[in-house]
Amino acid sequence: MADEETTLRQELVEHYQKVDALGLNEMSSGNLSVRFRDKILISPNGATGDSITVDNVVTCSFNGDYEGDRLPSSEWRMHAAIYKEYEDAGAVVHTHSDYCVAVASHVTTLPGFHYLVGVFGGGDVPCVPYSTFGREQLAKDASEALADRTACLLGNHGMIARAPNLKRAVNQAQRLEIMCRQYVLSRQLGEPNRLTDADWEDFFKKAEEMAYARNG
């Protein structure tokens, strides 16, 4: 196994376990992947934080052909669609984290109630309609929603994020969970105030100076 591939496999295992430790995924829900040349290294179907290893990470083509005895995650189509569409996507993280699921279960956009919603690339975070897991429609919808965002919600399902590397993709997943949690809490006092177009224009100007949008 090439050194580059071994390193990426180790990073994927470490970040999969970090996502598990953060409580963003439980049991075998969610999946992570990283781009490796013209293929994908992806968590195996049914993986948990305890069971995933360097050796059982699956090498998978963008068309679903895989190497070894372990099946790739059932969501390989969603990961592949994102890699095919966005050359700058080096890693993808999909979670079923509690507050992302809570908001996504209403199939509603996360509005711009807080300036840090802007770290995902715009004044809100879109939510795609529900589709059965592993289906091509879900992959298509998620990929399209990430055209000008680094993360989106998946209706009645969870969330997905893309980034140049696993560290930043996991950061995006954690940040979106925080934003969804704070939105749910704020709704207990009524509908929160939303930033205006002028607010967002000034935010993105400042974010460019401070590299917020790049670092998530």
Q: Which of the residues are catalytic?
A: 75
Number of H helices, E strands in the chain: 7, 7
Q: Which residues pair with 60 in a beta bridge?
A: 40, 66
d(CA 79, CA 172): 16
Cα–Cα distance for residue pair 22/35, rounded to 1 Å = 23
Strands 151-154 and 127-128: parallel
- Of the candidates 30, 31, 47, 40, the residue with the CA atom closest to the CA atom of residue 9: 40
> What separation in angstroms does the CA of 25 have from each of 29, 66, 129, 159, 190?
6, 24, 21, 11, 29
Distance in angstroms (rounded) separating the CA atoms of residues 186 and 129: 24
Q: How many residues does the structure list for the chain?
A: 216
Running DSSP on this structure, what letter comes out for residue 111? -
Residue among 145, 157, 182 at smallest CA distance from 105? 157
